[in-house]
Amino acid sequence: MQPDLYRLLLKSIAEANILPVTSACNGRCLFCSHLQNPPGLRVYSLPQLGKEEILALAEFLDPGQRIVIGESVTRINEGEPFLHPEFLGILTGLRRLFPTTSIQITTNGMALTPAAISFLASLGRVRLVVSLNSATPLGRRKLMGDNDPAAVLRAVASLGDRGIPFDGSIVAMPHLVGWEDLRQTIAFLARWGAETIRIFLPGYTRYTRREWLPPAGMEEKLRAFVAEEGERSRVPLILELPFLEDLTPRILGVIVDSPADRAGLRRGDIVTAINGKEPFSRVDAFRQVQKAGRAVIDLNRDGAALQVSLEKEEGASPGFVMAADLEPALFHSFTRRMRQVVENRALVATSTLAAPILASALDRVQEELPSLEIAAVPNVTFGGNICCSGLLLLEDFLAALPDRVEGCRPERVFIPGIAFADGGRDLRGRSYLELQTILKTTVELIP
């Protein structure tokens, strides 16, 4: 195995408790991100690792956190886990290593056979994330190249009867399959027991085929559609990306018959305090309640203050859903670092997605850090509607920062470390230190 790939495997496990098992895929999804990459990216596909090799890597997993399979937070291409010829044996080995740890598997469902479902039910403490995308035969063939859509729909419909909890996800492409297809897919997932449904805005780059591109105004139309459907649905509908503007801990939805549901929490409630402590952000509010056994929660509901009591096991999910925003420990670590090294001016460069959230957080420490500026850096290399920090390349920073640095003369520039997660190098292998040379000021990576 290549040393770089092995290092990425360990990074995936250490940072996100994700265990990669395969990069093979049996879908032909129109929206596959791997088909829309700029040339020259340093990405990796897993070779066929044996069961024992994967279980040796699994020794580094944290048993106190949910084990995740079928996702990626590194440059390793994620695949369909059930395509690994020894996947059920891998799961057996994981359960032997971690008898009580929950295992979450993301799957497109195309290899989810009745035998596999029976095995998962017997294994216990397994949760699926089903990337369904369409519940109609025509939609699945068009979007995913699924030649046997009825088999996937039967598999999903059987999960509840076998006691396997699952969440649904949909990459919304109504411009190709119609709004009714999206509505039917939401209804199908809700009918068969999905606890939550995530609806993704289709991401596209300047390399995406023109006939697949969404028309102008579709993002706003999709937001309105999800808001309208969300009012009627008992299953929480979560729109991704949420494009947040602040840190207000507003509840997006409540899972049916969860502790939050029994406590009387509702979609739209704003959490103002947990056991008397004001939350810093959405992430902080969720984790405070998750950590507690009994949580007394102060709420703002349509302008009225009220208080509810939520009872559950310590560490268990409270059963409400919030958008992910800012981890308070990371923010406080960053501002502490700024106080240590910045005497006068500093510039924080981040993605267009993160900039409003970071600005909202920095407003709270403006008196302590008055000479701090934020620069939103567009993803010009990828283009399209890509707007996240992890896909920024050195050339994006070079396009956005020289004029800004010339204007404000910062003594230090902070940039997101996730964009240079490969030993300080971006997705094309260029070092952030090149930026420091060109800007002629200290450049520092932040978490």
CB of 99 closer than 8 Å to CB of 63: no
The beta strands (E) that lie in 269-371 are given as 270-274, 294-301, 304-311, 320-321, 346-351
Q: Both 235 and 278 in a single domain? A: no
Q: How far, in whole angstroms, is CA 333 from its chain's centroid?
A: 22
Region 435-447: what's the mean pLDDT?
Answer: 93
421 is written with which tokens? 């997660």
Instruction: List Cβ neighbours of 438 (8 Å cut-off, separation of 6 or more).
Output: 398, 402
What pLDDT score does 390 carry? 92
Question: How far is residue 23's CA from residue 189's CA, in Å, rounded to a whole number?
Answer: 26
Q: Which of 321, 349, 365 is the last residue of a domain?
A: 321
What pLDDT score does 423 carry? 87
Q: Both 336 and 290 in a single domain? A: no
Q: Both 232 and 274 in a single domain? A: no
Going across the sheet that includes 67-69, the strands are 67-69, 103-107, 126-131, 166-171, 197-200, 237-240
Average pLDDT, the chain: 94
Amino acid at 38: P
pLDDT digit string, tens, across residues 248-298: 999 999 999 999 999 999 999 999 999 999 999 999 999 999 999 999 999
Q: Which of 263, 295, 321 is the last residue of a domain?
A: 321
β-pairing, 103-107 vs 442-446, is: unpaired
Q: Both 334 and 314 in a single domain? A: no
Q: Both 55 and 188 in a single domain? A: yes
- Would you say residue 358 lies in a domain? yes
- Would you say residue 363 lies in a domain? yes
Q: Both 212 and 275 in a single domain? A: no
- Would you say residue 338 lies in a domain? yes
- Would you say residue 143 lies in a domain? yes
Q: Both 209 and 302 in a single domain? A: no
pLDDT digit string, tens, across residues 370-385: 788 899 999 999 999 9
> Does residue 243 carry a pLDDT above 90?
no
Report the phi/psi class of residue 284: left, alpha or beta, with left for phi > 0 and alpha for psi in -120 to 50. alpha
Q: Both 152 and 109 in a single domain? A: yes
pLDDT digit string, tens, across residues 102-156: 999 999 999 999 999 999 999 999 999 999 999 999 999 999 999 999 999 999 9
> Does residue 406 carry a pLDDT above 80?
yes
Q: Both 414 and 274 in a single domain? A: no
pLDDT digit string, tens, across residues 46-80: 998 999 999 999 999 999 999 999 999 888 999 99
CATH code at position 439: 3.40.50
- Would you say residue 215 lies in a domain? yes
Helix axes 137-144 and 179-191, enclosed angle (nearest 10): 110
- Would you say residue 248 lies in a domain? no
CB of 131 closer than 8 Å to CB of 197: no
Report, in this order, helix, strand and coil percent for the chain, each rounded to 5.
40, 20, 45
CATH code at position 225: 3.20.20.70
- Would you say residue 247 lies in a domain? no
Q: How far is CA 224 from CA 49, 167, 231, in A?
A: 45, 22, 11
Supply the range of the domain harboring residue 84: 3-240
Region 172-197: what's the mean pLDDT?
Answer: 97
pTM here? 0.92
Q: Both 235 and 300 in a single domain? A: no
Q: How far, in whole angstroms, is CA 209 from its chain's centroid?
A: 25
Region 331-343: what's the mean pLDDT?
Answer: 88
Report the phi/psi class of residue 257: left, alpha or beta, with left for phi > 0 and alpha for psi in -120 to 50. left
Q: Both 274 and 332 in a single domain? A: no
Q: What is the count of structural domains for the chain?
A: 3
β-pairing, 126-131 vs 320-321, is: unpaired
What pLDDT score does 1 carry? 67
Q: Which of 208, 240, 272 is the last residue of a domain?
A: 240
- Would you say residue 245 lies in a domain? no
